[in-house]
Amino acid sequence: MVLKPIKRSIVPSPLEDQRGFDDFVTQYLNKCDDLISYTRRYPVVRENGRVRVQRQNRNPHEDHRWLRRDVATEASYDELKSVLFVNRADHQPRWMPQMASCERIEPIVPGLCEVFRLSFRSSGLKAKRDYCQLVVKREFLGEHARPKPRLFTPSASMASLALQSSVNLAEPTSPTGDSRFAGLGSTERSSEDNSVPVRPIRRFQVVTIPMLHSSCTPQRGHVRAFFESYEEVREYPDGHVEWTCIHHSDFAGWVPSVLADHSIATAFPKEADALLDYVLRARPA
């Protein structure tokens, strides 16, 4: 499957077709729930004290492999919400390696559904790249914070997760003994006596998908690349906070897919470390 951008014209107007717009947004949030549930089966390829990375087994139907990153973080829910949700466009170029700018192209619903141009500097074999991305965000509180996975939910850029399930048959990977990763990536955790599931008290999701937009054409001197990401930050009653990101990207240009996948897999955990370091540096002394 080739990663293809969606057209701006398929996004219903929130003013003229509120129900259609809500359905459009919900399908991507459902897909986020699906991916968080399903990708726990991916093999672990890297793990340190606070970040674990899993990668999809090679799939003949996919040009590039999906990656999953789980972070057990000392940052608070509100700190991550400020950087990843509320003020995402302002903060992203400050902490993300190689990002040159994040330009808002169209605020379809300000703060919740917007189109951005992301520009990246050249690095190694990679030329300067730019992306046109639709960013959808939503927060869930109280009873609504409990995810309701709908497996194999259709979406504009992945017709069915069933294709992946036929290729990735590995069982969910067990934690490696580090207590910080106990239950990491699950939408439910266990109580101290392991008898009662503990559900998140609040969570937010950020979905980023490639888009074709008349006001966001490729910049001269840049390669137009594409990525799709599904992020969720969860807070539990004991204050424990987890951040999950599932990512799929295509650098485009001449970089072979094997080299591109290797580069992305190497950068993926570093991005998490960069964000956490950025958040912790911003804390009052």
CA 163 distance to own-chain centroid:
20
Is 60 exceeded by the pLDDT of residue 171? no
Under 8 Å CB-to-CB from 283, ≥6 apart: which residues?
79
* CA–CA dist 270, 219 (Å, integer): 27
- Number of structural domains in the chain: 1
Mean pLDDT of the chain: 81
CATH of the domain at 80: 3.30.530.20
User: Phi, psi (5° rounding) for residue 113?
Assistant: -150, 105
Q: What is the pTM of this model?
A: 0.83
Give yes or no for residue 222 having a pLDDT over 60. yes
**pLDDT the model gives residue 96:** 87
pLDDT at 260 over 50: yes
Q: Which of 267, 224, 192, 247 is nearest to 36 (CA)?
A: 247
- Provide mean pLDDT across the span 185-211: 75
Q: What is the pLDDT of residue 98?
A: 84
Which ranges of the chain does DSSP label H, i.e. alpha helix? Answer: 18-38, 77-81, 88-95, 162-165, 257-281
Q: What is the pLDDT of residue 241?
A: 95
Decide if 1 is inside a domain: no
Residue 147 domain-assigned? yes
Q: Determine contact, residues 3/210, Cβ cutoff 8 Å.
A: yes
- pLDDT-derived band at 63, boundaries 50, 70, 90: low
Query: Which range has the worst mean pLDDT, 57-61, 94-98, 266-270, 276-280?
Result: 57-61
Asked if residue 187 is part of any domain, the answer here is yes
Residue 130 lies in a domain: yes
What is the three-state SS of 48-106? CCCEEEEECCCCCCCCCCCEEEEEEECCCHHHHHHHHHHCHHHHHHHHCCCEEEEEEEE
Tell me the pLDDT tens digit for each residue of 88-136.
999 999 998 789 999 999 999 999 999 999 999 887 666 788 999 999 9
Helix, strand, or coil (residue 214): coil
Closest to 36 in 3D by CA, of 269, 204, 190 = 204
What lies within 8 Å, CB to CB, of 163 at 6+ separation is 1, 59, 61
Does the structure show a pLDDT above 90 at 215? yes
Where in the sequence is the domain holding 215, given as residue range(s)?
6-262+270-281
Neighbours of 181 (CB within 10 A): 22
Between 1-5, 68-72, 105-109, 135-139, the lowest mean confidence (pLDDT) is in 1-5
CB count within 10 Å of CB 11 equals 22
